[in-house]
């Protein structure tokens, strides 16, 4: 639990309260660069909650490689890089065009969150 002092009294917010608040925010999102939340299935018999999300077909942008302890580009996204489609010898970076496309999508979604939804993300990861 997280203790949150209020102006009039002290209150407690549980982890479940925070998850439910995030679910309400996710339900309102409507942007092509933000994964959609389709449904929430609450299973009290097993103390589980299932979130049915839009499939990100290409997966994550970067993948962690445990052997080298480094992040590497997702191979599915590398195939979209024009300069690397026929050259499989250098798969350590994305081309400028794909980086531009990803950055534009990220900035578009942040603009949507900030200016349309009045939300600050606070947890953007590389």
Query: Tokens 């009290």 label which residue?
Result: 44
Q: 85, 79 in Cβ contact below 8 A?
A: yes
φ and ψ at residue 125, rounded to 5 degrees: -110, 155
Options 43, 47, 87, 123, the catalytic residue: 123
CB within 8 Å of 89: residues ≥ 6 apart? none
Assess whether 87 carries a catalytic annotation: no
Q: How far is Cα 74 from Cα 66, in angstroms, rounded to an integer? A: 14
DSSP class of residue 75 equals H
Q: Catalytic residue positions? A: 123
């Amino acid at each position: 639990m997280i203790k949150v002092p209020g102006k009039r009294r002290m209150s407690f917010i549980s982890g479940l309260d925070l998850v439910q608040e995030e679910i309400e925010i996710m339900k309102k999102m409507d942007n092509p660069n933000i994964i959609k939340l389709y449904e929430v299935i609450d299973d009290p018999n097993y103390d589980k909650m299932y979130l049915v999300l839009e499939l990100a077909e290409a997966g994550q942008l970067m993948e962690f490689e445990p052997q080298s302890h480094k992040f590497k580009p997702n191979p599915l996204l590398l195939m979209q890089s024009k300069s690397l489609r026929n050259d499989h010898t250098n798969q350590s970076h994305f081309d400028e065009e794909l980086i531009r496309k990803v950055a534009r999508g990220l900035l578009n979604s942040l603009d949507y969150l900030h200016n349309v939804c009045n939300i600050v993300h606070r947890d953007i990861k590389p």
